[in-house]
Amino acid sequence: MREKKRKAKRVIPGYGVSLGVTVTMLGLIVFIPLCSLVIFSAEMSFADFVETVTRPRVVSSYLVSFETSLVAAVIDAVMGMLIAWVLVRYEFPGKRLMNGVIELPFALPTAVAGISLTHLTTTNGWVGGLFDRLFGVKIAYTRVGITVALIFIGIPFVVRSVQPVLEKLDGQYEEAADILGASSRQTLLRVILPEVAPALAAGFAMSFARGLGEYGSVVFIAGNTPYETEIAPLIIMSQLQEFDYAGATSIALVMLFFAFLILLLNAVIQSRASRIVSGIS
Amino acid sequence: MERRKKTGPFQWIAIGVSAVFLIVMLLLPLVYVMATAFGEGVQVFLAAVTDPYAVRSILLTVEVTVITVIVNTVFGVFASWCLTKFRFRGKKVISALIDLPLTVSPIIAGLIYLLTFGRQSILYPYLQGAGVKIVFAVPGIVLATIFVTFPFISREIIPVLTSQGTDEEEAAALMGAGGFTIFWRVTFPHIKWALLYGIVLCTARAMGEFGAVSVLSGHLKGKTNTMPLYIELLYQGYDFTGAFAVSAILVLMAVIILVLRSLLEAKGTKES
């Protein structure tokens, strides 16, 4: 409020009210709960923290979470790029439907997706049976199953991140490359990919970070065998069910750290990319 | 913009691979829910969804979703107005804090509320004294859902307001219009589709939230079980038909939401 006097008078009304409502609600919903996490962690002993987060079962749950979300995010990046390309560049029957279903993982409750994917991919399921007979690959109740669920969750992030950039991409760069004698592979790798790379990285980071924290769709398909298919959010959940809040908080802090690390890396990539772009123009 | 029409085998391979991927990954689970829910006949489906506990979970989900959407709409409109119409220090911090819930795992979202209002919290004695029950009760579920969907509406409105600038509002203010008149007559027509789109997304996530709600609900059957939690309960009791029957309602809602979404998107792009 004090700032209001220093700066030129604001013409548009509602500064005080809107800032007040925003800050109050932000404080109540986001800031205070986060503070309680900080306060609670400050009260824990560091030795306990280290002991909890280095338990073999906990460490292997991080590894399971990390491995499955990384693989899922890579597959999402490749498939999301392809789908975005198809949606922007080609005309074909059913295109509107294809564009419409991309957001299905946002709209479908994760628990529903979880039980449905599980039943589809057990060895008796429509898809799981096929894979079991053809390749001898079991999907449900293995890490493959977790990855499948995370691919489902992450795909819209990549498509919706890359699609607008591809739409804006001017066709004349490709024409220029074509006229200058570039093969279509060279055009793709040297002309198109550098343009969409930041958006692709953003989509990858979002689906990776989301995958690390995903719970609803994974618990059903994972089987939750310790050391094998137990993900970190599930360990937090079971700590909470035993009312071990300190243990749960310790594991949560490590997860938050990794999630923020991914987003920080992405932010660095984005700012470098925008600097390159602004440097040229 | 003129686009090169590439007609080669690559085009059809790309379309084919994308289509197969989307059908297997996204559409098949949807079809499977419906097939299983109605597989044993409509009677079985109706019996499952009219079970008193099922009805109670549906009502609770509706209640939680409605409160969440109202709260987040009010917040979203005020926050995006504040962030786009004025320049002030600390704006980036506010904007980052608003987006924060997107990156926090739902389980951790539940955990922080548990730490804030649960037994070991400094607030607990006061809440107890006032007779307010938050954790393992409906208010906790509502709070967790609000947290998880907190940025959904403001994130849709902010880009629209940013690209629109402040000229029109300034003109209106100089001509003597009051705050509400400016919002309703000048700003609102620009943001109505984005706002509706945000509300649709918020509704979708609010009715389906599982992780955060799971932490805070305490799973009291008939009291604090929302639809996703009730589905989990049925599923773990090997009542698969029941679980898929209740899921079918959520699938139907998801399809409605997707249709609304594409209609709103078409409307929004046509007008701008």
Contact: A108, B2; criterion CB under 8 Å: no
Q: What ipTM was assigned to the predicted interfaces of this complex?
A: 0.88
Give the CA distances from residue A35 to residues A40, A106, A180, A255, B121, in Å, rounded to whole numbers and listed in that order: 8, 29, 58, 17, 12
CB B235 within 8 A of CB B161: no
CA–CA distance from A215 to each of A29, A69, A146, A234 (Å)?
Answer: 21, 12, 10, 7
Residue A249: its chain B contacts at CB < 8 A?
111, 115
Query: B201-257: per-residue pLDDT in tens?
Result: 899 999 999 999 999 988 777 788 999 999 999 999 999 999 999 999 999 999 999
Q: What is the DSSP string of B110-143?
A: HHHHHHHHSTTSTTHHHHHHHT---TTSHHHHHH
Q: What is the pLDDT of residue B272?
A: 64
The nearest alpha carbon in chain B to A75 belongs to: B21
Homologous superfamily assigned to B40-271: MetI-like (1.10.3720.10)
Residues of chain A numbered 209-248 and touching chain B (CB < 8 Å): 209, 212-216, 220, 233, 236-237, 240, 245, 248
In chain B, % helix, strand, coil (3-state, to 5) comes to 80, 0, 20
Asked if residues B254 and B204 have their Cβ atoms less than 8 Å apart, the reply is: yes
**The domain defined by A45-280 carries CATH number 3.90.1150.10:** no
- List the single residue in A10, A107, A111 with the smallest CB-CB distance to B228: A111
DSSP three-state, residue B218? coil
Segment A36-57 mean pLDDT: 89
**Other Cβ atoms within 10 Å of A239 Cβ, number:** 21
Average per-residue pLDDT for chain B: 89
The model's pLDDT over B104-140, given as tens digits with 9 standing for 90+, comes to: 899 999 999 999 998 888 888 888 888 888 888 999 9
pTM: 0.89
Q: Does the pLDDT value for residue B66 go beyond 60?
A: yes
CB–CB of A81/A196 below 8 Å?
A: yes
Nearest-neighbour CA in chain B from A134: distance (Å): 17
Concatenated DSSP letters for A86-103?
HHHH---TTHHHHHHHTT
Structural contact between residues B228 and B210, judged by C-beta atoms closer than 8 angstroms: yes
The distance from CA B169 to its chain's CA centroid, rounded to whole angstroms, is 30
Q: How far is CA A23 from CA B72, B76, B91, in A?
A: 14, 12, 11
Contacts of residue A17, defined as CB under 8 A and 6 or more positions apart, other chains included, come to B78, B179
Percent of chain B surpassing pLDDT 90: 51
* Token couple for B181: 């008149």
Q: Domain-by-domain residue ranges, chain A?
A: 1-42, 45-280
Q: Mind telling me how many Å the CA of B251 is from chain A's nearest CA?
A: 6
Could you tell me the residue ranges of all domains in chain B?
Answer: 9-38, 40-271
User: Is pLDDT at B71 greater than 80 in this prediction?
Assistant: yes
Rg (CA), chain B: 23
